[in-house]
Amino acid sequence: MLTEKNKDIVRRAVEEIWNKGNMAVADELLAANFVNHDPCGTPETFNLEAYKQGASDTRTDFPDFHVTIKEQIAEGDKVVTRWTCTGTHKGRSGAIDIAPTGKPVTIEGVTIDHIAGGKILEEWWFRELMVMKLGYKIVPPSK
């Protein structure tokens, strides 16, 4: 069942990269030419290295960051994941341009992953942006 294997790849990426901060596994689970279609990013930030940096920054800013997968649907080489993430804003990496608030945040979203050769080749994000609710300002990443 290829669809189940593809869902496992996405679940492992969520658990290892986002929940545990294990960036080394990103090279195992994401293709070298991975493209991250992040609506908050810029074309310069759509690559694997920027993705790992973004995950690392998120875990710095929200040390208790945790993603909970609510539902997954897979067909062919695509996996759709509905998720909720939570964390407490305790850092300032530059992605969110305000001083730490100490406030807990919850974000809900959906990710569509394209799997090829047993790795995530592309990812599209759609999420409720807590930054808008709290009045945060999103700053484009430095080049």
For the stretch 22-76, pLDDT in tens is 999 999 999 999 999 987 777 666 899 989 988 998 899 899 999 999 999 999 9
DSSP sequence for 48-92 = HHHHHHHHHHHHHHSTT-EEEEEEEEEETTEEEEEEEEEEE----
pLDDT for the residue 98: 72
For the stretch 97-135, pLDDT in tens is 678 888 888 888 999 999 999 999 999 988 776 554 554
* pLDDT at residue 142 greater than cutoff 50: no
Q: Which CATH architecture has domain 2-133?
A: Roll (3.10)
Tokens representing 9? Answer: 């790849």
Q: Where are the domains of the chain?
A: 2-133
Q: What is the pTM of this model?
A: 0.85
